[in-house]
Amino acid sequence: MSQTNTRHHPIVHIERPDPDLSVRIVSCPTSPLEVIASAWSELTALRRLQLLDASCNYIMVGKDTMQRLLARVGEASKPWPRLGDHRYDPSLTWADQLYIIVNRTRHWEKSDVVAFQEVLSDEVERVESAKLHAGVGPLRLPASSSKTTVTEILLADARSLLADAGCPVLTPRRRSLQCMLATSAELTLAH
Protein backbone atom coordinates (compact mmCIF):
# COMPACT_ATOMS: atom_id res chain seq x y z
CA MET A 1 0.00 0.00 0.00
CA SER A 2 1.52 3.28 -0.99
CA GLN A 3 0.06 6.75 -1.20
CA THR A 4 2.13 9.70 -2.35
CA ASN A 5 2.12 13.26 -1.09
CA THR A 6 5.59 14.19 0.09
CA ARG A 7 4.96 17.90 -0.21
CA HIS A 8 3.69 18.22 3.35
CA HIS A 9 4.56 14.96 5.07
CA PRO A 10 7.78 12.98 5.46
CA ILE A 11 8.03 9.50 4.02
CA VAL A 12 7.66 6.78 6.62
CA HIS A 13 8.90 3.27 5.92
CA ILE A 14 7.46 0.36 7.88
CA GLU A 15 9.16 -2.95 7.26
CA ARG A 16 7.97 -6.31 8.59
CA PRO A 17 10.98 -8.66 8.40
CA ASP A 18 8.86 -11.67 9.34
CA PRO A 19 5.13 -11.61 8.52
CA ASP A 20 4.45 -14.15 11.28
CA LEU A 21 5.72 -11.76 13.98
CA SER A 22 4.62 -8.36 15.23
CA VAL A 23 8.14 -7.01 14.61
CA ARG A 24 8.23 -3.86 12.54
CA ILE A 25 11.04 -1.49 11.66
CA VAL A 26 9.97 2.13 11.32
CA SER A 27 12.25 4.64 9.64
CA CYS A 28 12.21 7.90 7.75
CA PRO A 29 14.88 8.94 5.24
CA THR A 30 15.24 12.34 6.91
CA SER A 31 16.19 10.83 10.29
CA PRO A 32 19.22 8.84 11.41
CA LEU A 33 17.00 7.00 13.88
CA GLU A 34 15.07 3.80 13.42
CA VAL A 35 12.54 2.21 15.76
CA ILE A 36 12.28 -1.55 16.04
CA ALA A 37 8.93 -2.42 17.60
CA SER A 38 7.83 -5.82 18.83
CA ALA A 39 5.58 -7.60 21.25
CA TRP A 40 7.57 -8.21 24.42
CA SER A 41 6.62 -11.90 24.22
CA GLU A 42 8.51 -12.11 20.88
CA LEU A 43 11.86 -11.05 22.34
CA THR A 44 13.54 -14.39 21.53
CA ALA A 45 12.25 -14.31 17.94
CA LEU A 46 13.34 -10.68 17.63
CA ARG A 47 16.87 -11.65 18.65
CA ARG A 48 16.94 -14.41 16.01
CA LEU A 49 16.23 -11.78 13.33
CA GLN A 50 19.61 -10.18 14.15
CA LEU A 51 18.34 -6.64 13.72
CA LEU A 52 20.20 -5.21 16.69
CA ASP A 53 23.91 -5.33 17.35
CA ALA A 54 24.76 -1.88 18.70
CA SER A 55 24.02 0.49 21.56
CA CYS A 56 20.41 1.55 21.78
CA ASN A 57 17.65 3.03 23.87
CA TYR A 58 14.37 1.29 24.49
CA ILE A 59 10.94 1.82 25.94
CA MET A 60 8.96 -1.07 27.39
CA VAL A 61 5.23 -0.35 27.53
CA GLY A 62 2.31 -2.14 29.13
CA LYS A 63 -0.45 -1.83 31.69
CA ASP A 64 -0.46 -2.73 35.35
CA THR A 65 -3.25 -4.62 37.11
CA MET A 66 -5.21 -1.36 37.48
CA GLN A 67 -4.94 -0.83 33.67
CA ARG A 68 -2.63 2.18 34.08
CA LEU A 69 -0.14 2.71 31.25
CA LEU A 70 3.43 2.08 32.38
CA ALA A 71 6.68 2.74 30.55
CA ARG A 72 10.24 1.71 31.35
CA VAL A 73 12.95 3.69 29.57
CA GLY A 74 16.39 2.16 29.27
CA GLU A 75 19.69 2.16 27.48
CA ALA A 76 22.07 -0.61 26.62
CA SER A 77 25.54 -0.83 25.17
CA LYS A 78 24.94 -4.55 24.84
CA PRO A 79 21.19 -4.83 24.26
CA TRP A 80 20.63 -8.58 24.34
CA PRO A 81 22.03 -9.25 27.82
CA ARG A 82 20.15 -6.21 29.18
CA LEU A 83 16.83 -7.09 27.54
CA GLY A 84 17.28 -10.74 28.51
CA ASP A 85 17.71 -9.72 32.16
CA HIS A 86 14.51 -7.67 31.95
CA ARG A 87 12.62 -10.68 30.66
CA TYR A 88 13.13 -12.45 33.99
CA ASP A 89 12.58 -9.40 36.19
CA PRO A 90 9.37 -10.00 38.21
CA SER A 91 8.75 -6.25 38.51
CA LEU A 92 8.34 -6.07 34.70
CA THR A 93 5.59 -8.66 34.19
CA TRP A 94 3.33 -5.84 32.95
CA ALA A 95 5.53 -5.24 29.87
CA ASP A 96 3.65 -5.95 26.65
CA GLN A 97 5.45 -4.00 23.90
CA LEU A 98 9.08 -3.12 23.22
CA TYR A 99 10.26 -0.12 21.20
CA ILE A 100 14.00 -0.02 20.47
CA ILE A 101 15.56 3.19 19.20
CA VAL A 102 18.77 2.83 17.20
CA ASN A 103 20.95 5.24 15.28
CA ARG A 104 21.42 3.88 11.74
CA THR A 105 24.14 6.31 10.70
CA ARG A 106 26.69 5.98 13.48
CA HIS A 107 27.49 3.90 16.53
CA TRP A 108 26.21 5.52 19.69
CA GLU A 109 28.74 5.81 22.48
CA LYS A 110 27.70 5.05 26.06
CA SER A 111 27.39 8.79 26.73
CA ASP A 112 25.02 9.13 23.75
CA VAL A 113 22.57 6.47 24.92
CA VAL A 114 22.76 7.70 28.51
CA ALA A 115 21.99 11.28 27.40
CA PHE A 116 19.11 10.04 25.25
CA GLN A 117 17.74 7.88 28.08
CA GLU A 118 17.76 10.95 30.31
CA VAL A 119 15.75 12.98 27.79
CA LEU A 120 13.32 10.13 27.08
CA SER A 121 12.79 9.51 30.81
CA ASP A 122 12.10 13.19 31.42
CA GLU A 123 9.61 13.21 28.54
CA VAL A 124 7.77 10.12 29.80
CA GLU A 125 7.59 11.62 33.30
CA ARG A 126 5.72 14.61 31.82
CA VAL A 127 3.07 12.41 30.18
CA GLU A 128 -0.06 12.47 32.32
CA SER A 129 -1.54 9.29 30.84
CA ALA A 130 1.53 7.15 31.62
CA LYS A 131 3.66 6.39 34.62
CA LEU A 132 7.42 5.98 34.37
CA HIS A 133 8.43 2.63 35.86
CA ALA A 134 11.81 3.48 37.30
CA GLY A 135 14.69 1.09 36.97
CA VAL A 136 18.12 2.31 37.92
CA GLY A 137 17.28 5.53 36.11
CA PRO A 138 19.44 7.60 33.83
CA LEU A 139 22.98 8.23 35.03
CA ARG A 140 22.62 12.00 34.52
CA LEU A 141 26.09 12.52 33.11
CA PRO A 142 26.97 16.12 32.28
CA ALA A 143 26.61 16.75 28.55
CA SER A 144 28.07 19.44 26.33
CA SER A 145 25.67 22.01 24.90
CA SER A 146 26.26 20.64 21.38
CA LYS A 147 25.41 17.09 22.51
CA THR A 148 22.30 18.43 24.27
CA THR A 149 21.19 20.17 21.06
CA VAL A 150 21.69 17.00 19.00
CA THR A 151 19.80 14.98 21.61
CA GLU A 152 16.86 17.39 21.46
CA ILE A 153 16.75 17.16 17.66
CA LEU A 154 16.84 13.36 17.82
CA LEU A 155 14.05 13.41 20.41
CA ALA A 156 11.74 15.07 17.88
CA ASP A 157 12.52 12.31 15.38
CA ALA A 158 12.11 9.59 18.02
CA ARG A 159 8.70 10.92 19.10
CA SER A 160 7.37 10.70 15.55
CA LEU A 161 8.89 7.30 14.79
CA LEU A 162 7.66 5.88 18.11
CA ALA A 163 4.12 7.10 17.39
CA ASP A 164 4.31 5.67 13.87
CA ALA A 165 5.43 2.34 15.40
CA GLY A 166 2.36 2.35 17.67
CA CYS A 167 3.97 3.46 20.95
CA PRO A 168 1.22 5.02 23.08
CA VAL A 169 3.52 6.96 25.40
CA LEU A 170 5.08 9.94 23.62
CA THR A 171 3.20 12.08 21.14
CA PRO A 172 5.07 13.60 18.21
CA ARG A 173 5.50 17.28 17.58
CA ARG A 174 4.28 16.57 14.04
CA ARG A 175 1.19 14.53 13.29
CA SER A 176 2.06 10.86 13.37
CA LEU A 177 1.31 8.40 10.61
CA GLN A 178 -1.54 7.08 12.75
CA CYS A 179 -3.23 10.48 12.50
CA MET A 180 -2.36 11.01 8.86
CA LEU A 181 -3.65 7.72 7.47
CA ALA A 182 -7.07 9.28 7.04
CA THR A 183 -5.39 12.00 4.95
CA SER A 184 -2.57 11.81 2.45
CA ALA A 185 0.82 10.38 3.43
CA GLU A 186 3.38 8.21 1.80
CA LEU A 187 3.56 4.84 3.43
CA THR A 188 5.84 2.07 2.29
CA LEU A 189 5.10 -1.38 3.66
CA ALA A 190 7.80 -3.93 2.95
CA HIS A 191 7.58 -7.64 3.68
Mean pLDDT of the chain: 81
**Across the strands, what pairs with 74?**
58
pLDDT band at 175 (very low <50, low <70, confident <90, very high): low
Q: What is the mean pLDDT of residues 131-153?
A: 64
pLDDT band at 1 (very low <50, low <70, confident <90, very high): very low
Q: Each residue of 8-33: pLDDT tens digit?
A: 556 889 999 999 999 999 999 989 99
The answer to whether residue 64 scores a pLDDT higher than 50 is yes
pTM: 0.82
